[in-house]
């Protein structure tokens, strides 16, 4: 990766680094003006670390961290501006994404400090950081499933726009199975089967009939959206016992879940969360350390060359798209298991945000995870921030995750390189 | 993204070696896009029937009973036929004409309103759909996928309704102004993705989808904020447009038929799109860019300008559709405007694909999909089968139209070779 990256570092990507640096600088200045100088000099922001539901039985207690809002935000903004300036002047060949991600995290922190400042019009003048991370981890988890699905498909050269549809299908079947069997293992298997089937349909049209992958994907999303809304009225409305909205129980891991902050966030989660952690490891290993992964990446970069050395391009793509679809299907079940009752259209574009997270993560599982964490936080914040001192309409806040996605996609495409044969049909002569 | 892969006649029309007349006619039939569309329509209805069969309790029960008696299988077939037949019959009656009403009107000369209402509804629904689909089609012809048409239509509806309800001038000024503002709103919503695509390479599919959600949030914000919200209302309802900004019914309000002057706007839009694509030099640039970006660049076409203009025009047409929708039907906007299964912007994508991005084809495809939508509503009313079935059928039709080879295989129309098609999408980077 590094060799290609440096050879691509031409004038164009130099200019793009500058654009990214400018974006970072604007974010830093915005934080300075709006967040730092938007709070009174005497304002304080408090951070709590004890999860609400654990506070009684928790064997540990972390004290409250109280900061001077303006001072803390000035410091954070200055760090952001410094990072931007460093990127602008040095134009590093590597690590631009990490700097950008770092600025995004600092921005969210600055936003939180500003939102939780006291005295303010709203009584909530503290942020429970642990609760925040737990809340956003649900969105993050779904995005990770989606972006891992994207990585699987696109590394083999097929664009899976249908992730949203696989979420919907998985959530529908997952809700039905979870309500009838009360067993989330069956629900997950059902979701994987449905997601895999949708993946197979996409692969069938894209690989056998060389149809346009993006069009087939979008049509599949439309179809799944209307089919699920049809079935919702036809099945779930007359038989509400099939859609009870059971939530997956949390499984606390004995010792690890007692670690302050990290414990409840990472080790007191539903089974889907642990499954996601395992998948991240398995997929990273499989794609980059095994023979199979080498084949997949060869097929995604240069299918003709791969075919020449005897790799069955079409089969590799079928396998990956079906597996990717299954992963996204499980993601749909995970979404249902954390949000409750299935409703039509309730994934509200998360599948597309997952695709953007995959791009942000440079088509790598690890990067996709980092991006999903940032996106997950911003999606979650956009729904919860209204309870803080934020003088902005709920609906304006709700635009932000989507605007951030647009900014990321606009700022990073071209800077990051997609698999060379991504979205290009392969025809074996 | 050149020469949509959904265009099956492109490679097929090339070999024009003189063949025996009879054989040639047969080949023309089986390869003709109209026939493929017709077969795709049949397959779409079959998919819809399968969905009805597998989800209607009465039908499922009848199939469960086929082994209980010797005639069980016939009874099951009859129940299936009755249910599917009733659904599609009520769809036809609700979208085109109810034969009983027609017969009543012809014999007695009465009740023409009831007889003509289905057609009027189909035309009312088709009007904004035609305009949006033209926008999507123009983008497709240039090799760009505008999946944000719905958001652009919503923004166009909002800007149009703001001007229509809060500016008070005579109709001769007000109506054109309202329509122009709708166009401008949509164009603005198209400008951003176009600009980002041209200057950063951000893929228009993701940007426009994200923009849809931004605009939906803006819609709720606008109808809940003081100047635009209906005074005295707490709900998400906007002010009502002045009569001078409305598109009135063609046959007068007394006729009871909703078909309206929006049809004139749609006709003008079709004429404009045809002229633009087929006769204007800018339209030629657009099509060249779509067909062969390298050739376009070599001949001095500025790709960046083309991309931005395509999105402005495409978004503008969607915005115009949005304002036509408001001005001709509800005259106000609520928080659910064009969201969900009423999202004409998503139907427009399928319509444009079905109409092969040509203005004429789009008109027919819009009428067909409008009929499916309106008929779906009638079906929901009479048989209780949810309206969303129409949307399932629509997507299935498009999936088949996008894959002509599959349609030919299913109908055994000639051993169809898998032709190598020029692909429409080129991944993220390009």
The full set of domain ranges for chain A reads 133-377
Chain B residues with beta carbon closer than 8 angstroms to that of A150: none
Q: Domain of B291?
A: 125-365
The answer to whether B392 contacts A233, with C-beta atoms less than 8 Å apart, is no
How far, in Å, CA of B99 to CA of B119, rounded? Answer: 13
A393:B213 CB<8 A: no
pLDDT in tens, B47-103: 999 999 988 888 888 888 777 777 778 888 888 999 999 999 999 999 999 999 999
d(CA A145, CA A170): 12
Domain made up of A133-377: CATH architecture: Orthogonal Bundle (1.10)
In sequence order, what are the residues at sequence separation of 6 or more whose Cβ sits closer than 8 angstroms to the Cβ of residue A63?
A49
Closest C-alpha to A409, from A376, A366, A375: A375
CB count in 10 Å sphere of residue A81: 19
| β-bridge partners, A118 | A44
Joined tokens for residue A392: 């902005």
How crowded is residue B61: how many other Cβ atoms within 10 Å of its Cβ?
11
Distance in Å, alpha carbon of A349 to nearest chain B alpha carbon: 8
Kindly state whether residue B198 falls inside one of the protein's structural domains. yes
Closest residue in B to A216 (Cα) is B399
Determine whether the interchain pair B425/A213 forms a contact, defined as Cβ–Cβ distance below 8 Å: yes
Partners of A45 in the β-ladder: A67, A117
Instruction: For residue A204, give how far its alpha carbon lies from the nearest alpha carbon of chain B (Å).
Output: 10
Contact A208 B418 (CB under 8 A): yes
Enumerate the residues of chain B whose CB falls inside 8 A of the CB of residue A208.
Answer: 418
Identify all chain B residues contacting A403, using CB atoms and an 8 Å cutoff: 210, 214
Residue B236 CB neighbour total at 10 angstroms: 18
> ∠ CA(B125), CA(B126), CA(B131), 5° rounding?
120
User: B205 CA to chain A: closest CA distance, Å?
Assistant: 9
Label residue A2 exposed, middle or buried (CB < 10 Å: 0-12, 13-18, 19+): exposed
In a domain, B268, yes or no: yes
Bridge pairing between strands A117-118 and A44-48? antiparallel
The sign one gets for the Cα dihedral B256, B262, B264, B270 is negative
Angstrom CA distances, B169 to A265, B166, B176, B424, stand at 60, 10, 11, 46
**Closest to B421 (Cβ–Cβ): which among A210, A234, A410?**
A210
Residue B110 lies in a domain: no
Pair type for strands A117-118 and A65-68: unpaired
Coil/strand/helix, residue A124? coil
Per-residue pLDDT of chain B (430 residues), as tens digits, is 333 344 444 443 334 444 444 444 444 455 567 788 888 899 999 999 999 998 888 888 888 877 777 777 888 888 899 999 999 999 999 999 999 999 999 998 888 888 999 999 999 999 999 999 999 999 999 988 898 999 999 999 999 999 999 999 999 999 999 999 999 999 999 999 999 988 887 888 888 988 988 999 999 999 988 888 888 888 888 999 999 999 999 888 888 888 999 999 999 999 999 999 999 999 999 988 888 888 888 988 998 899 999 999 999 999 999 999 999 988 999 888 887 655 788 889 889 988 888 999 999 999 999 999 999 999 999 988 898 899 899 999 988 888 888 888 888 765 444 443 434 444 554 4
CB A332 within 8 A of CB A174: yes
A393-421 in b/e form (b: 16+ CB < 10 A) is bebebbbbbbbbbbbbbbbbbbbbbbbeb
Q: What is the pLDDT of residue B24?
A: 43
User: A172 burial class (0-12, 13-18, 19+ CB within 10 angstroms)?
Assistant: buried
Within-domain flag for B182: yes
Locate B401 and state its tokens.
């139209």
Report the number of distinct structural domains present in chain B. 1
- Whether residue A354 contacts residue A143, with contact meaning beta carbons closer than 8 Å, is answered with yes
Residue B281 forms part of a structural domain: yes
What is the residue-level pLDDT of chain A in tens, covering all 429 positions? 344 444 444 455 677 788 788 888 988 998 898 888 887 777 888 888 876 655 445 566 677 788 888 888 999 999 999 999 998 888 887 777 788 888 888 988 888 888 888 765 555 567 888 888 888 999 999 999 999 999 999 999 999 989 999 999 999 999 999 999 989 999 999 999 999 999 999 999 988 888 888 888 988 998 999 899 999 988 888 888 888 888 888 888 887 877 777 888 888 888 999 999 999 999 999 999 999 999 999 999 999 999 999 999 999 999 999 999 999 999 999 999 998 889 887 888 899 889 888 887 888 999 899 889 988 988 888 878 777 767 777 888 888 888 888 887 777 655 567 788 887 888 776
Residue whose tokens read 């074996």? A428
- Check CB contact under 8 Å for B55 and A219: no
Residue A3 exposed, middle or buried by CB count within 10 Å (0-12, 13-18, 19+):
exposed
Interacting residues of B34 by C-beta distance below 8 A, sequence separation 6+: none
Q: Which two tokens stand for residue A186?
A: 């069956």
Strands A250-252 and A268-270: antiparallel
Is the Cβ–Cβ distance between A175 and A243 less than 8 Å? yes
Q: Does A231 sit within 8 Å of B420, measured CB to CB?
A: no
Backbone angles phi, psi at A362, to 5 degrees: 55, 40
CA distance B383 to B89: 10
Cross-strand pairs, B42 = none
Q: Please give the backbone phi and psi of residue B148, each rounded to the nearest 5 degrees, phi first.
A: -95, 15
Please give the pLDDT value at position B16: 41
Q: Dmax of chain B from CA atoms?
A: 76
| B414/B24 Cα distance (integer angstroms) | 13
* Structure tokens given for A206: 């894209």
Contact B121, B315 (CB under 8 A): no
């Amino acid at each position: 990766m590094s060799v290609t990256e440096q050879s691509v570092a031409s004038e164009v990507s130099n200019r793009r680094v500058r654009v990214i640096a400018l974006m970072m600088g604007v974010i830093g200045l915005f934080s300075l003006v709006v967040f730092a100088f938007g709070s009174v000099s005497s304002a304080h922001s408090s951070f709590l670390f004890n999860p609400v539901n654990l506070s009684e039985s928790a064997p540990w207690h972390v004290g409250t961290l109280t900061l001077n809002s303006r001072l803390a935000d000035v410091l954070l903004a200055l760090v952001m501006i410094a990072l931007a300036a460093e990127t602008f002047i040095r134009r590093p060949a590597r690590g631009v994404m990490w700097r950008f991600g770092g600025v995004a995290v600092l921005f969210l922190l600055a936003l939180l400090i500003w939102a939780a400042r006291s005295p303010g019009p709203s009584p909530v003048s503290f942020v429970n950081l642990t609760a925040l991370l737990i809340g956003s981890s649900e969105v993050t988890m779904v995005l990770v499933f989606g972006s891992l699905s994207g990585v699987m498909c696109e590394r083999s050269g097929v664009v899976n726009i249908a992730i949203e549809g696989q979420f919907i299908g998985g959530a529908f079947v997952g809700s039905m199975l979870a309500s009838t069997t009360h067993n989330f293992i069956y629900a997950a298997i059902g979701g994987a089967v449905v997601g895999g089937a949708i993946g197979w349909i996409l692969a069938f049209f894209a690989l056998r009939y060389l149809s346009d992958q993006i069009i087939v994907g979008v049509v599949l999303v439309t179809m799944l959206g209307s089919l699920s809304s049809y079935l919702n009225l036809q099945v779930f409305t007359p038989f509400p016992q099939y859609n009870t909205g059971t939530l997956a129980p949390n499984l606390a891991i004995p010792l690890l879940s007692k670690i302050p902050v990290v414990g409840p966030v990472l080790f007191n989660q539903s089974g889907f969360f642990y499954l996601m952690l395992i998948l991240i490891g398995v997929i990273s290993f499989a794609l980059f350390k095994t023979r199979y992964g080498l084949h997949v990446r060869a097929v995604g970069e240069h299918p003709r060359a791969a075919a020449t050395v005897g790799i069955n391009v079409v089969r590799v793509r079928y396998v990956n798209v079906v597996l990717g679809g299954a992963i996204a299907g499980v993601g749909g079940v995970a979404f249902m298991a954390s949000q409750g009752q299935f409703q039509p259209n309730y994934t509200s574009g998360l599948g597309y945000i997952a695709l953007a997270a995959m791009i942000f993560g440079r088509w790598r599982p690890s990067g996709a995870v980092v991006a999903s964490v940032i996106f997950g936080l911003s999606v979650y914040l956009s729904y919860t921030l209204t309870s803080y001192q934020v003088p902005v309409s709920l609906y304006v806040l709700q635009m932000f995750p989507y605007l951030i996605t647009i900014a990321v996609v606009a700022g990073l495409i071209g800077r990051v390189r997609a698999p060379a044969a991504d979205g290009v049909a392969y025809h074996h002569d | 993204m050149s020469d949509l892969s959904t265009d099956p006649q492109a490679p097929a029309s090339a070999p024009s070696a003189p063949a025996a007349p009879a054989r040639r006619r047969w080949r023309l039939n089986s390869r003709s896009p109209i026939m493929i569309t017709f077969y795709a329509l049949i397959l779409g209805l079959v998919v819809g029937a399968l969905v009805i069969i597998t989800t209607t309790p009465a039908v499922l029960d009848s199939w469960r009973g086929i082994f209980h008696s010797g005639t069980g299988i016939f009874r099951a077939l009859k129940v299936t036929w009755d249910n599917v037949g009733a659904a599609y019959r009520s769809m036809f009656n609700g979208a085109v004409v109810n034969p009983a009403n027609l017969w009543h009107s012809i014999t007695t000369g009465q009740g023409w309103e009831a007889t003509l209402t289905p057609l009027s509804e189909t035309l009312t629904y088709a009007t904004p759909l035609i305009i949006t689909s033209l926008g999507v089609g123009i983008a497709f012809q240039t090799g760009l996928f505008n999946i944000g048409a719905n958001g652009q239509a919503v923004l166009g509806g909002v800007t149009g309704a703001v001007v229509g309800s809060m500016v008070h001038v005579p109709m001769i000024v007000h109506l054109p102004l309202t329509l122009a503002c709708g166009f401008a709103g949509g164009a603005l919503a198209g400008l951003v993705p176009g600009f980002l695509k041209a200057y950063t390479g951000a893929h228009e599919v993701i940007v426009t989808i994200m923009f849809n959600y931004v605009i939906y949030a803006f819609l709720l914000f606008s109808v809940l904020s003081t100047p635009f919200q209906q005074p005295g209302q707490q709900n998400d309802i906007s002010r009502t447009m002045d009569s001078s900004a409305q598109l009135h019914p063609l046959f007068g309000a007394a006729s009871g038929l909703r078909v309206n002057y929006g049809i004139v706007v749609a006709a003008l839009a079709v004429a404009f799109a045809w002229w633009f694509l087929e006769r204007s030099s800018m339209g030629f640039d657009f099509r060249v860019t779509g067909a062969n970006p390298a050739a376009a660049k070599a001949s001095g076409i500025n790709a960046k300008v083309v991309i931005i203009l395509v999105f402005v025009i495409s978004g503008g047409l969607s915005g115009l559709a949005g304002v036509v929708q408001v001005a001709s039907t509800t005259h106000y906007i609520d928080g659910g405007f064009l969201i969900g299964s009423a999202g004409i912007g998503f139907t427009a994508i399928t319509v444009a694909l079905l109409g092969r991005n040509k203005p004429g084809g789009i008109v027919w495809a819009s009428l067909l999909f409008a009929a499916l939508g309106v008929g779906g509503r009638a079906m929901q009313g009479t048989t209780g089968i949810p309206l969303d079935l129409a949307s399932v059928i629509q997507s299935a039709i498009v999936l088949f139209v996008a894959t002509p080879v599959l349609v030919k295989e299913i109908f055994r129309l000639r051993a169809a070779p898998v032709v190598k098609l020029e692909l429409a999408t080129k991944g993220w980077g390009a």
